[in-house]
Amino acid sequence: MADDESQYTIKEGDYVVLKRGDIFKAVQIQPRKKVIFEKQWFFLDNAVGHLYSSTFEIVSGGTLQPQKLRGTESSTDAKEAGTDNRNIVDDGKSQKLTRDDIETLKEKGLKGQEIIQQLIKNSSTFRGKTEYAQDKYIKKKKKKYENTVTILKPSCRILAMMYHGREPGKICHLRYDTLAQMLTLANIHAGSKVLVFETCAGLVLGAVMERMGGYGSVIQMYPGGGPVRAGVESFGFPANFHDMLHEFPICHVNSLLAGTLDTTAKDPTAVTDEKQSSMVAEEQQSQSGLEHQGSPEEWLRETNNSDDIGQDQEQKQKEKRKEAKAEEKKVKLEKKRKKLAAAADLLKGRDADGLVIASRFHPCPVLMGLLKFLSPSRPFVVYSQYKEPLIECYTKLKEHGGAVSLRLTDTWLRHYQVLPNRTHPLLLMSGGGGYLLSGTTVTMDGAKPAGSQRAEEPAAKRPKLTHTEG
């Protein structure tokens, strides 16, 4: 029971998500580390030991205090039976308190709820508003003047909402409902072997790892010099989750399929670096030899000079640091080589259970190359912010075969306000959550050639876009 309770308790070193209204921010709890959130700074030390989803009040000195539960009377005491809003004019003159007056109230130590009560008392139009308008006014002032923050446990949904609200470009404008459909369509579950190619700051990779629960294996196919996993760190996974994670560069896929990949060879960049370092050492030796040329008397004067001795010692220290860096680089290269060999062994069997692609690159060549690593009757899903690349993928798969149940879909999501006598869709909504292409692999053994198949059957038609309402 203690272990179960510790999962829901905030601990030092945990990655958490701060929430205020619709604003989120992922941080790590560190002792006496100043955190800036929504133009306020505070320390998270006092949050340790409390349960997740607790709300704290920010007091003087940046200290957090657990917010006391208030009854609904405090927010409704000031409300009165209003008439209607027809005679209210928003001219900015209805509030008697100025900005300086509000700052003075804050300096006196008044808290958010007390400041809101003063604003209501000094508003000339509050009593004339309807009950709904009064509620809306109070909520708006609470959002502005109440110094509270809620600490949440990171999850796939919360982090997706955080990225989509603050930095949607980093995750290719992937919406959280679309991400949920990707995990479902790819049949992500514990104990499976999944290939992931994404450029969404590690959000999709972290979502796959969270769904698998630390069981199975995930192979991240990455472009460039190394994988990007900033979003994975925000999940705060335990160590056993990272044991299931492997990485493989996308540039070596063709050589792996052809059987020409040499995982025992050193990194070619290491050879060039060694040559460069040896050339630099030779130049330094030659320069030092030139410096010591001359008459014996001059040489004796130079050796007796304390400044030259200090320079020699400094030169030796520099050489030692260079040797240490070279040794550290060799260790890193050996570790990288072992990771590459382990990922290659997993891919050689071509028995992966799922494929997830979500990147800013054109998905067609990536999809056609990585589908070869999947077993027959396995699902795959491709995300793109635009439908045109997925239409090209759809047509390509229809021509080459090897995939069935191809579907190109987009999701329409709309939030509703559900309150007594005023349930309606929200005025602002997301314009689009991207497009998904999903399907299932099949074996091509014994199938007719692509040319004869096209002769008997009609040509591949343009995919029909299916709308899914969320």
pTM: 0.76
What is the 8-class DSSP label of residue 95? B
- CATH of the domain spanning 156-262+348-469: 3.40.50.150
Pairing of strands 403-412, 435-441: antiparallel
1-153 maps to CATH 3.10.330.20: yes
For 100, the token pair is 């300086």
pLDDT of res. 40 = 83
pLDDT of res. 305 = 57
Identify the three-state secondary structure at position 237: coil
Contacts of 360 (CB under 8 A, 6+ apart): 172, 199
pLDDT of res. 409 = 93
* Biggest alpha carbon–alpha carbon distance for the chain: 107
Averages of pLDDT over each 10 residues, the chain, 470 residues: 69 92 90 87 90 87 78 47 61 70 71 76 74 79 79 94 90 93 95 95 95 94 87 91 92 88 61 43 46 49 59 79 82 84 89 94 94 94 95 94 92 86 85 91 62 42 63
How far apart are alpha carbons 195 and 276 in whole angstroms?
Answer: 38
How far apart are alpha carbons 353 and 374 in whole angstroms?
Answer: 6
Contacts of 448 (CB under 8 A, 6+ apart): 456
- Give residue limits of the domains in the chain: 1-153, 156-262+348-469, 268-338
The DSSP annotation for 310-359 comes to HHHHHHHHHHHHHHHHHHHHHHHHHHHHHHHHHHHHHHHT--BSEEEEE-
End-to-end CA distance of the chain: 37
Q: Nearest Cα to 18, choosing from 160, 210, 162?
A: 162
